Structure 1
Amino acid sequence: MTKARRARFLGDGVVELAQEMLPDIAAGDVRVAVEVSALCGSDKRPYREGSAVVPGHEIAGRIVAVGGGVPTHRVGERGVVYAPVFCGACASCGVGFTNGCLKLAELVGWQRDGGYATHVDVPAQCFIRVPDAMSLDVAVLGLDTVGTAAHGLRWAIRTQVRAVERVAVIGCGPLGLGVAVMSLEMGLPVPEVFDPVPGRLAAAVGMGARRLRDLDAENQYDLVVEASGSRTGREVAQRLVRPGAVLLALGESDEPFVIPANPRTRRTNLFNLRTFYFPLSEVEANWAALARVGPGLVSVLSSRATLDELPEVFARFYRGELLKPFIRFDSP
């Protein structure tokens, strides 16, 4: 039995910390001592509405115990947690498309306990080993910030029959910054970026992007990434994208993404693309990219806090005062 300190999101911005005894490790699971848990904008929903499980899905740490059927030599392994709990046996998993598992029923931090805690149990196949030379602060950005961004860009490029000449990114939060940095890393044109928050816009420009100045332009960009999830951002993205191009919708929102029934949309060939997370088949390529871009992203994005400080830090994060706080734990 392990005594864990865990954060409970009760709704209406109330976060309580409690000592809880974890049950025996289930067969096929590993117990992870969390060392880094990064805050994500999607967790603002359980912050408002409450959650039946411990939130937190950007997790890095070390295996401290294993359940039945898991080799004991994995104890001590450093890694990150792959949020989608995939079956490994369906047609999608069989071709490496683990983020498209046909039996996907759980996400770590959403339907099962996540990483705003000192310890978390996850399926062994969802614990990805981190290269020895990479810090866990950098590695955790290989999940949502770089992994999701890179996967979306790879799929967007596949839709195009001609070279991508202009890229626009709407929203310069952590995901938008990841998209901007990975666009440059993947050899795409310098992305033109917009965010209504001056500090976020400046961060993207400081990492090599250019400011997008004409939000009213139409039919200008071969690849438009909507990374804000806002209604206004989506409307801007729909104006900017040219016929035959691709609009990549990555921004999360509780509102539906509406394609208006107007003459322009009715008379335009257009790829409207939505991607989710990344498959395990892309992990090695992501590590290689992250080794180059990760330290710079950490320096721009992250601020550090302890688990005790999570209630106050999440309140500031919710208000938009912090980009991507990292909850840091003492090493086991």
Structure 2
Amino acid sequence: MPYYLDWIRNQKEKKIEIDFSRGNQAIVELLLQGLNTKQKQIVQLAACCRWFDRPVIQYLIQRKSINFETGASDNLNCFDWLNQCDFVEFVEGRYRLDDVARDVFRMSLYHEGRSQFRETHELLAKYFEQLANKEVSPDSPPPAKYDNADWREYTAEFLYHALFARRDEGQRQFISHLFASRYLNQLEVVIIPFAAITAEASVENYQLLPDQTGKLLKKITFGFIFGWFMLSKDPAKYEINYENGTGPSKDKIEAAIKLCFDQVDSLEDGLGKYAALLYKSLRSRSNQRVHLLQQAKAQAEIIASDSNPEFSSSLFFNLGNVLGNLERYEEALKSFDQALTIKDDDPDLWNNRGAALGNLERYEEALHSFDKALAIQ
């Protein structure tokens, strides 16, 4: 807006009839004024970043075979030269291009070559993935990752860039983290990239995303915003009541959620797939539920580790509860027993095991489980 208003003021001072169709192009010309080809390229790289610091600019510049020290200026390295530009601002301890400049330069890179645009976002996805992996080893249990604030921040940036760069794979990674972050109640891992992209879409209407990714994010908006807390609930057992104003119906929310469940089979093994199968089972016919829960159990066996017994035990505990609600008491008992082999001092686990045994009319064993629960708590 400031650039646009300045252009209008300039036209009026020159008593030129204002042609508003020329306004955006005039802003582009204004921002490009005085930049040589190499400097324009550097700014386009920075425009792909939601924010930048010296290391990320140096990483991008070097990957593009530009000399970091002299590529933009004989007197300033590329990072210091960027910070001298009028359209670069320092906000909350980080550098970024202001919104207008970022839109202009990022769009110009996209129009010059989509492959180059996606390649830049792929470089940034790898950069933040590497930072996340340095913060917490990829082999660590999921809670060690999601409980680490720096890992969550780097992973959010990774997902943002992966959605622009990786087409189908970017979607799968985003959806996997959606289910995993819901299971561990760490919203920002997915809400940060989602909110950033949907905000940008108000300007470019998802144009910069791969076509199918843009369509998916657009369709799941209601499900993502309103359905976050509904994922772990049986749709037959919850209602939506808006205290102030109105929102989408439960049917619309569930329809959006379903689009995420459609990709469950293509997700990589891990917590995201486990949680997706668990939540999908709540929305399936009874004859399909047990099959989905068996798949979820196979995922739990892959994920479970001795290094985090509480988390690992909870994977089987939650499965046992869902199976119990389906009156599949034998399967529920097996899940509870599996949980107990990992962690045997949880009173809720012994209590629910006792309930399953009681429903199987194995009362002496049930009494023993209840006594174990009481001994602990």
Bin the TM-score by the shorter chain.
under 0.3
TM-score by length of 1: 0.27
TM-score by length of 2: 0.25
Please identify which structure carries the higher strand content: 1
Please identify which structure carries the higher helix content: 2
Rg (Cα) greater in structure: 2
